[in-house]
Amino acid sequence: MCCGVSHNDTVALQPSRRPPSALPSPQVTTREPAIWSRNFRYYFTGRSAGLLSWAMLPVAVAAGLLSGGYGLDTAGYAMAFLVGPFAGLVLFGGVLADRFTARRMMIAADLANLAAHVLLALLFFYGIDHLWQLYTVLAMAGTANAMFQPGASSTVPLVARDVQGANGVLRTAEALTGLGGPALAGALVGFGATGWVMVLAAVAYGTSAICLLALRLGVVPAPPAGESLWRNLAVGWQEFRSRAWLWGVIAIWMFFAVLSWGPQLSVAAGVIVPEHGATAFGLLNCALGAGTVAGGLLAIRYKPARPLAAGAVAMLAYPLYPLGIVLGWPVWLLAAAQVAVGAGIGVWGVMWATSVQTQVPGEVLNRVHAYEVAGSVGMYPIGSALAGPAVGAFGTDRVLLVGVVVALLTAVALLAARPIRTLGRVPARA
């Protein structure tokens, strides 16, 4: 989400304003479109296929296990084996992507995911004899995604001259696959076809690998030869913490993830489902996805001089949904609030991704992005896990109101921090 959601420093440094020459040079001719170049078309197709597969997997596994007679604890352990390796290994994914090039790592990750989903298909077709088999394959898929994710960000400046516009297109695709993937997986599982979900996902990962192989990127920036893996990791950390706007956002987002973003889904479900039913809760999440699509489309055209400041203003919409739950709004009004929240998230996500991709040198971008993902996404499970105990101790309304206040303070803090507020936009290459 942050840093999208979706998704940072200790010294009050001025934001690094690198000239356009500091950007990785996209290997496109000036006669090609700023966004829809040959390279970007291949990248968009492959990335959309991978996002669809990733969106289907949690729903297919959880629903497949429950419909197969396994308990909630088994489904929970399965999700832990899927997400745990991603959170723990994404930093090394950034180092390896810089050492061996992002495209090679992403193709290898797609092939590993293809193999993992073939194995998952066999397990669901023929039955799971031992749960450790399922957990091992899910850990394999989570590891593959940790190896893929850093390169997914650093490749964008290489395939499109209009980096913000490209991020807007990709954010829109992510929102659409986030809507369609779970629905498709749920429908197939409902027909007893969990194995076929995995086959479809394997085909999608194969498509992604082929599209990435077709890219023509030319020479890609890389760290100096001969440096150890730990040295590469240390350099990435130095680059990360040398940019006040970068670590500042992540530091703020960590509090937001624990106290607002993380608890919200389960706490909202505990209110909406008993009062309005599971269908209403599903529709509210669809409204969030629709809003994210709208925000992504808006961000393709809207190019403010100070992107992070504009994204922070968009995030002021975030408290509307939890506040509406506390105030007892009807479902239609909560849906309108979710559309506004999704639009804000979509705009923020594009502004953030574009700032990172255009302000950080290409030879360290994968590692810096890995630190960003680890810092922002890594705190979400903590907030989610604390939701239940917090509701038991303080009550639903108080937990939601804390989330409202923290979300407001998050936007205010982003705007109050000078390195974040004043960070300028790097214009698209001519």
Report pLDDT digits (tens) over 2-28.
554 443 333 223 333 343 334 444 444
Q: Collect all residues with Cβ–Cβ distance below 8 Å to 327 and sequence separation of at least 6.
A: none
pLDDT band at 243 (very low <50, low <70, confident <90, very high): very high
Q: Give the C-alpha distances (Å, rounded to integers) separating 390 from 3, 76, 241, 267.
A: 26, 20, 33, 10
What does pTM read for this prediction? Answer: 0.76
Q: Collect all residues with Cβ–Cβ distance below 8 Å to 412 and sequence separation of at least 6.
A: none
Tell which residue, 250, 243, 249, has the closest CA to residue 359.
243
Q: Do the domains spanning 1-16+243-430 and 32-241 agree at the CATH topology level?
A: yes
CATH of domain 1-16+243-430: 1.20.1250.20
Report pLDDT digits (tens) over 392-430.
889 989 999 999 999 999 999 999 999 999 999 887 655
Tell me if residue 322 falls in helix, strand or coil.
helix
Average pLDDT over the chain, rounded to an integer? 84
Q: Give the C-alpha distances (Å, rounded to integers) separating 224 from 136, 235, 346, 381.
A: 35, 11, 36, 36
* In contact, 365 and 102? CB cutoff 8 Å: no
pLDDT value, residue 12: 29
Superfamily of domain 32-241: MFS general substrate transporter like domains (1.20.1250.20)
What is the Cα–Cα distance from 98 to 232, expressed in whole angstroms?
9
Tell me if residue 428 falls in helix, strand or coil.
coil
What is the Cα–Cα distance from 189 to 65, expressed in whole angstroms?
10
What is the Cα–Cα distance from 198 to 178, expressed in whole angstroms?
17
As a whole number of angstroms, the longest Cα–Cα distance in the chain is 62
What is the Cα–Cα distance from 43 to 65, expressed in whole angstroms?
33
Tell me if residue 69 falls in helix, strand or coil.
coil
Q: Where are the domains of the chain?
A: 1-16+243-430, 32-241
